[in-house]
Amino acid sequence: MAMVENKSPTDNSNKVWGFLKLPFRATNGNATPSPSPSSQLHHSHHNHHHGHGQNNAAVEGSTPQPPNSVSSVARSLLPTRRRLKLDPASKLYFPYEPGKQVRSAIKIKNSSKSHVAFKFQTTAPKSCFMRPPGAILAPGESIIATVFKFVEHPENNEKPMDQKSRVKFKIMSLKVKGPMDYVPELFDEQKDQVAIEQILRVIFLDPERSTPVSSNIG
């Protein structure tokens, strides 16, 4: 009996100790080991990249914007690069002869590396026009255009200088693929690609004076 009684506490102690050790045995045995901090960081980093990839996939799979609107926005954010060089650069000089049709010359040069079409517009199409009204220029090619304008008589002793802001001329450009025949419809078909090169103001001169830029045209 003494031996039995002496063994009982030992057995109970072993059972308790074994019970306390059970979780550690289970941890080292069949149960999944607890991840270390470094493995948790790696796992979190992996999930982050995985989630980021899914977000990218969702963005890439979304409905794209129309190309025209995208290109328009892109152009609005970028500075305009001129395709043409004009001489004179911003003004047209006309002799002041009321009641007569006068003319001025302007040199238009393609300063880009592509073929460019240009078109002329005016705020007074009934009294002003250009010859030629438009053309396609090869890289480095230039042309001399003549602008015709009818000079109206001044009203109520109006001075010629007061008329300079009434009529304006606009030169527009369009990049084209290569040599082709010029047609005005090109600018209507590709409106999103049209650039305003320059708005020219009208300057009247005394008919006895020569145009200051006439020597540069040629």
Residue 139 above 80 pLDDT? yes
Domain assignment present for 164:
yes
Rounded mean pLDDT of 156-160?
A: 64
Q: pLDDT tens for residues 60-78?
A: 555 555 556 666 655 554 4
Domain assignment present for 168:
yes
Domain assignment present for 146:
yes
Domain assignment present for 35:
no
Q: State the chain's mean pLDDT as an integer.
A: 73
Q: What is the pLDDT of residue 62?
A: 52
Please give the structure tokens belonging to residue 94. 């006309």
Domain assignment present for 49:
no
Residue 79 above 50 pLDDT? no
**Domain that residue 206 falls in:** 84-216
Q: What is the pLDDT of residue 177?
A: 92
Question: Residue 204 — very low, low, confident or very high, per pLDDT cuts 50/70/90?
Answer: confident
Domain assignment present for 197:
yes
- The most confident of the ranges 43-47, 48-52, 197-201 is 197-201
Domain count, the chain: 1
Domain assignment present for 17:
no
Domain assignment present for 128:
yes
CATH label of the domain that carries residue 130: 2.60.40.10
Q: How far is CA 37 from CA 26, 34, 45, 46, 59, in A?
A: 21, 9, 12, 14, 33
pTM of the predicted protein model: 0.57
Rounded mean pLDDT of 183-196?
A: 92
Measured CA to CA, the distance from residue 16 to residue 22 in angstroms comes to 10
